[in-house]
């Protein structure tokens, strides 16, 4: 069902409409009646069994007493009465209900029970529900204020959704001060039904929302979020602020809402895969919102700076370069024109310094020239309030030229008291103005990142032909034995079944057999303890490498099995795995952890100290495309090692992409795999492939899978 009824209803009922101006039920009704909605001739029905009329409208005892159809009901009554009220909405066939009332999941176990009851009722009647425990919904274009917020924010291009109601009130206050213009505002509350994913999908084709803003504490379904957001960002930007990213922050989310925050790495990977612009702070969220809301798209990364002051010009140049953008190189005709028009001491090269005594006309000349230069994708205009500076006039010039050209023009009016009037002119013409050049550079960087994401095709997922059956049998057998971790031979079978290359090897149950196998295989060989109960083989001296003779093999077999028995008398010892020594190559790690919110999170990094000490790893949420896997490989800091350094040839990146994708397929095919590490995977030079040497794999225990499913949905916060 579409969510249209929440934003453009033809008739709204307020269940709990009150005659007492101190009550929320009065505030909501008042906002609907006097906030522009009712004035447009649409119907509002106060529902209150004890009143004849409220705010001049006839009141009804229940929605079922209203004869005409109702599209939207807002419930503002104490929590014990909410389920029954919701049921009457169902009986009346109301498709959309906002439950403002608190006292549900956020209030502990009993509240959670009550919330489940709401969900059941909504499902029974096919009602879509926003809340409970929320501020309400606003659509400035309808216009409709179905919330208890006193202010109707100014109209604008930003659709905003917040899990936190309080943050919502702050946002509305900023909007009220003229900083933001909103199209839609939704306080999601506990997200019993409608959540971020629903709204993103619904707003994707909403022409009034040019940029979608989300404050997120946790997601109900990480995989679905990526799927939906990835589609939305093909046409419009999503900016998200995710809180609870540090350990302490995550504890705060958890103690506040009882939901797991999900890992920071998973969110980072998911946002990147979905093309979601991540705001690191609330301030970033606002600045991104303004830039995406009001500016034309940034088509390239070449920025021009026009300034009346050298120092700030340098600060801006630093910021542009630090953000990975570049300064435009102007056409020679542009430089010539600037040189002719500007005073001698001015700089005609980028950054263009029109000098401290520049009046509006000098800004106009310079700005027109550079904004129309085809080498310029965006312009940052810096103004400091000097003695001869025409602040308001210059702002008007900027607004005029910004309206003429099809590239983003941003203002940076530095100062406050004297520049305020100019800043207001820019604001009035929707030219984003930043007090500091660094913030302007930050938004430009996000804009080019969005543009590049948008231009990329939607990912296509490869599917390899694999032997699922074998893996299923191994897993069944492991589980039937009450184990959660697999042995070496099992790991080898799984890897082979999914098409990864492993070194030739065979299980030897005795020293004699080990020697026979080695003789046939060819020396040197490696011996490894084979036991389902020994996970970290090297810790118990269970690995001997570089065995060159039959004697070496015999000695190693006896030593390894003796040691294993001594250290772990309970362990089942199957013997030793005899494995052919593989040639040296670059060691990498391919791993997976199952994130509670996003599912399979694939890790890639170089082996050994790179992972352990330097934490030099990259992440992606499966599924992902081959292009994304390749990007993942390039993302690690030490990626130059893969390209070949010190005279070494580049490594076989194709085999890495292949192995990563096969592992991604494996963990998607078998959600019961909780953790997995191939370490090391040895990769050889280009065209020479790679070999998976060792794999650790843990299945979810019953306890753990219960834990996971409990955290699939997350609560909201005030």
With contact defined as beta carbons under 8 Å apart, do 341 and 262 qualify? no
User: According to CB under 8 A, which one of 160, 215, 225, 271 is a site residue for a second copy?
Assistant: 215
User: According to CB under 8 A, which one of 82, 137, 144, 355 is a site residue for a second copy?
Assistant: 355
312 binds a second copy (CB under 8 A): yes
Shortest Å, Cβ 61 to a second copy: 27
Query: Running DSSP on this structure, what letter comes out for residue 328?
Result: P
Q: Which residue reads 């036991």 in tokens?
A: 531
With contact defined as beta carbons under 8 Å apart, do 643 and 636 qualify? no
Stretch that binds a second copy, among 57-65, 146-154, 398-406, 526-534 (CB under 8 A): 146-154
Q: Which two tokens stand for residue 633?
A: 């490989």
Question: 690-692 and 673-683: which strand pairing?
Answer: antiparallel
Peptide bond into 465 cis (omega under 30): no
154 binds a second copy (CB under 8 A): no
With contact defined as beta carbons under 8 Å apart, do 123 and 88 qualify? no
Shortest Å, Cβ 427 to a second copy: 13
Q: Which is nearer to a second copy, 34 or 53 (CB)?
A: 34
Backbone torsions φ then ψ of 429, nearest 5 degrees:
-100, 15
Q: Which is nearer to a second copy, 168 or 623 (CB)?
A: 168
C-alpha span between 313 and 310 (Å, rounded): 5
Shortest Å, Cβ 306 to a second copy: 13
349 binds a second copy (CB under 8 A): yes
Sketch the per residue contact string, 14 through 53, with a second copy: x for CB under 8 A, - otherwise: ----------x--x--------------------------
Which residues, numbered 488-517, are part of the site for a second copy (CB under 8 A)?
Answer: none
Shortest Å, Cβ 640 to a second copy: 5
DSSP string, 441-500: HHHHHHHHHHHHHHHSPPP--------HHHHHHHHHHHHHTT-SB--HHHHHHHHHHTT-
Q: Say how many CA atoms lie within 13 Å of 388 toward its Cβ.
A: 12
User: According to CB under 8 A, which one of 136, 159, 222, 313 is a site residue for a second copy?
Assistant: 313
Shortest Å, Cβ 512 to a second copy: 33
109 binds a second copy (CB under 8 A): no
106 binds a second copy (CB under 8 A): yes
Backbone torsions φ then ψ of 596, nearest 5 degrees:
-60, -25
Closest by Cα among 666, 643, 323, 359 to 493: 666
Stretch that binds a second copy, among 202-210, 343-351, 504-512, 688-696 (CB under 8 A): 343-351
287 binds a second copy (CB under 8 A): no
C-alpha span between 291 and 298 (Å, rounded): 10
User: According to CB under 8 A, which one of 174, 341, 461, 523 is a site residue for a second copy?
Assistant: 174
Shortest Å, Cβ 621 to a second copy: 21
Stretch that binds a second copy, among 90-98, 138-146, 163-171, 403-411 (CB under 8 A): 163-171
Shortest Å, Cβ 183 to a second copy: 19
Q: Which is nearer to a second copy, 264 or 331 (CB)?
A: 264
Peptide bond into 524 cis (omega under 30): yes
319 binds a second copy (CB under 8 A): yes
Stretch that binds a second copy, among 117-125, 304-312, 460-468, 508-516 (CB under 8 A): 304-312
Q: What is the widest separation between alpha-carbon atoms in the chain? A: 101
718 binds a second copy (CB under 8 A): yes
Stretch that binds a second copy, among 402-410, 609-617, 676-684, 689-697 (CB under 8 A): 609-617
User: According to CB under 8 A, which one of 2, 91, 93, 280 is a site residue for a second copy?
Assistant: 280
Question: 211-216 and 673-683: which strand pairing?
Answer: unpaired
| Coil, helix or strand at residue 538 | helix
With contact defined as beta carbons under 8 Å apart, do 223 and 274 qualify? no
Q: Which is nearer to a second copy, 46 or 437 (CB)?
A: 437
Closest by Cα among 542, 536, 546 to 557: 542
345 binds a second copy (CB under 8 A): yes
Q: Which is nearer to a second copy, 212 or 285 (CB)?
A: 285
Shortest Å, Cβ 111 to a second copy: 10
220 binds a second copy (CB under 8 A): no
256 binds a second copy (CB under 8 A): yes
707 binds a second copy (CB under 8 A): no
Shortest Å, Cβ 153 to a second copy: 10
Rounded (5°) CA angle 170-434-149: 15
139 binds a second copy (CB under 8 A): no
Shortest Å, Cβ 704 to a second copy: 26
609 binds a second copy (CB under 8 A): yes
Q: Which is nearer to a second copy, 312 or 532 (CB)?
A: 312
C-alpha span between 413 and 198 (Å, rounded): 39
User: According to CB under 8 A, which one of 243, 579, 618, 679 is a site residue for a second copy?
Assistant: 243
612 binds a second copy (CB under 8 A): yes
Shortest Å, Cβ 667 to a second copy: 28
170 binds a second copy (CB under 8 A): yes
179 binds a second copy (CB under 8 A): yes
Q: How large is the angle between the packed helices 653-669 and 626-635, nearest 10 degrees?
A: 120
Sketch the per residue contact string, 388 through 417, with a second copy: x for CB under 8 A, - otherwise: --------------------------xxxx
Q: Say how many CA atoms lie within 13 Å of 334 toward its Cβ.
A: 22
Length of the chain, in residues: 718
Number of residues forming the site for a second copy (CB under 8 A): 94
195 binds a second copy (CB under 8 A): no
Which residues, numbered 530-549, are part of the site for a second copy (CB under 8 A)?
Answer: none
C-alpha span between 575 and 580 (Å, rounded): 16
| Coil, helix or strand at residue 23 | coil
C-alpha span between 577 and 503 (Å, rounded): 11
User: According to CB under 8 A, which one of 20, 41, 67, 387 is a site residue for a second copy?
Assistant: 387
Query: Running DSSP on this structure, what letter comes out for residue 81?
Result: G
Stretch that binds a second copy, among 83-91, 118-126, 137-145, 254-262 (CB under 8 A): 254-262
Q: Which residues is 506 bridged to in the sheet? A: 578
Closest by Cα among 9, 14, 20 to 60: 14
Q: Which is nearer to a second copy, 341 or 436 (CB)?
A: 436
Q: Which is nearer to a second copy, 233 or 389 (CB)?
A: 389
- Return all residues near 603 (Cβ < 8 A) that are at least 6 apart: 589, 590, 591, 592, 593, 617, 618, 619
Estimate the share of the chain in helix, then strand, then coil, as percent rounded to the nearest 5. Answer: 40, 20, 35
Rounded (5°) CA angle 568-573-574: 165
Which residues, numbered 614-643, are part of the site for a second copy (CB under 8 A)?
Answer: 614, 616, 637-638, 640-641
Stretch that binds a second copy, among 39-47, 227-235, 313-321, 507-515 (CB under 8 A): 313-321
Which residues, numbered 542-581, are part of the site for a second copy (CB under 8 A)?
Answer: none
Shortest Å, Cβ 663 to a second copy: 25
Shortest Å, Cβ 466 to a second copy: 35
Which residues, numbered 436-475, are part of the site for a second copy (CB under 8 A)?
Answer: 436-439
C-alpha span between 255 and 547 (Å, rounded): 55
| Coil, helix or strand at residue 695 | strand
420 binds a second copy (CB under 8 A): yes
Long-range contacts of 419-425 (CB under 8 A, 24+ apart): 419/383, 419/385, 419/391, 421/391, 421/392, 421/395, 422/383, 422/391, 422/392, 422/394, 422/395, 423/395, 425/392, 425/395, 425/396, 425/399
């Amino acid at each position: 069902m579409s969510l249209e009824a929440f934003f453009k209803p033809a008739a709204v009922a307020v269940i709990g409409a009150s005659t007492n101006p101190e009550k929320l039920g009065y505030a909501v009704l008042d906002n609907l009646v006097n906030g522009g909605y009712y004035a447009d001739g649409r119907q509002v029905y106060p529902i209150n069994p004890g009143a004849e009329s409220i705010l001049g409208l006839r009141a009804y005892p229940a929605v079922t007493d209203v004869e005409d159809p109702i599209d939207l009901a807002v419930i503002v009554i104490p929590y014990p009465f909410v389920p029954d009220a919701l049921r009457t909405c169902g009986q009346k066939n109301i498709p959309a209900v906002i439950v403002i009332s608190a006292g549900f999941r956020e209030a502990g176990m009993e509240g959670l029970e009550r919330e489940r009851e709401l969900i059941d009722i909504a499902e029974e009647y096919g009602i879509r529900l926003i809340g409970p425990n929320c501020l309400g919904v606003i659509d400035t274009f309808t216009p409709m204020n179905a919330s208890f917020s006193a202010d109707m924010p100014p109209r604008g291009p930003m659709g905003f959704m917040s899990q936190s109601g309080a943050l919502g009130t702050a946002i509305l206050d900023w909007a009220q001060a003229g900083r933001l213009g909103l199209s839609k505002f939704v306080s999601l509350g506990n997200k019993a039904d409608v959540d971020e994913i629903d709204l993103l999908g619904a707003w994707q084709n909403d022409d009034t929302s040019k940029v979608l803003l989300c404050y997120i504490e946790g997601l109900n379904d990480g995989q679905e979020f990526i799927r939906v957001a990835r589609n939305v960002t093909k046409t419009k930007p999503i900016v998200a602020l995710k809180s609870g990213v540090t350990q302490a922050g995550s504890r705060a989310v958890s103690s506040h809402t009882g939901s797991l925050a999900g890992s920071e790495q998973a969110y980072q990977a998911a946002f990147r895969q979905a093309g979601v612009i991540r705001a690191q702070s609330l301030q970033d969220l606002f600045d991104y919102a303004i830039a995406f809301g009001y500016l034309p798209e940034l088509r390239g990364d070449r920025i021009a700076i026009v300034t009346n002051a050298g120092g700030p010009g340098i600060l801006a140049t630093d910021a542009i370069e630090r953000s990975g953008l570049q300064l435009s190189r102007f056409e020679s005709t542009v430089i010539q024109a600037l040189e002719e028009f500007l005073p001698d001491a001015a700089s005609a090269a980028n950054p263009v310094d029109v000098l401290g005594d520049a009046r509006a006309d000098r800004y106009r000349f310079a700005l027109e020239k550079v904004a129309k230069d085809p080498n310029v994708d965006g312009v940052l205009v810096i103004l400091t309030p000097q003695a001869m500076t025409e602040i308001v006039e210059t702002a008007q010039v900027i607004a005029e030229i910004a309206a003429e050209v099809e590239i983003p023009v941003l203002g940076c009016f530095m100062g406050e008291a004297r520049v305020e009037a100019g800043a207001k002119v820019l604001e009035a013409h929707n030219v984003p103005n930043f007090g500091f050049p660094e913030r302007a550079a930050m938004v430009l960087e996000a804009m080019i990142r969005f543009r590049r994401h948008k231009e990329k095709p939607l990912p296509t997922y490869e599917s390899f032909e694999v032997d699922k059956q074998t893996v299923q049998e191994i897993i069944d057998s492991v589980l039937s034995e009450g184990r959660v971790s697999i042995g070496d031979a099992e790991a080898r079978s799984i890897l082979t079944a999914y098409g990864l290359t492993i070194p030739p090897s065979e299980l030897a149950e005795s020293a004699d057999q080990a020697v026979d196998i080695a003789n046939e295989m060819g020396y040197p060989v490696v011996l490894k303890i084979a036991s389902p109960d020994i996970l970290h083989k090297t810790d118990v001296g269970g690995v001997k490498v570089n065995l060159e003779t039959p004697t070496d093999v015999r000695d190693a077999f006896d030593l390894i099995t003796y040691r294993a028995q001594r250290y772990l008398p309970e362990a089942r010892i199957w013997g030793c795995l005899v494995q052919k020594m593989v040639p040296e190559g670059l060691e990498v790690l391919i791993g997976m952890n199952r994130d509670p919110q996003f599912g399979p999170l694939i890790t890639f990094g170089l082996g050994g100290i790179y992972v352990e000490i330097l934490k030099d790893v990259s992440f992606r949420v499966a599924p992902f495309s081959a292009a994304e896997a390749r990007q993942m490989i390039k993302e690690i800091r030490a990626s130059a090692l893969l390209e070949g350094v010190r005279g070494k040839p580049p490594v076989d990146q194709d085999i890495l992409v292949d192995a990563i994708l096969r592992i991604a397929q494996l963990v998607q095919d078998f959600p019961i795999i909780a953790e997995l590490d191939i370490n090391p995977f040895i990769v050889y030079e280009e065209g020479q492939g790679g070999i998976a040497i060792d794999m650790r794999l843990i299945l979810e225990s019953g306890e753990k899978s219960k834990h996971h499913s409990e955290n699939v949905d997350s609560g909201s916060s005030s």
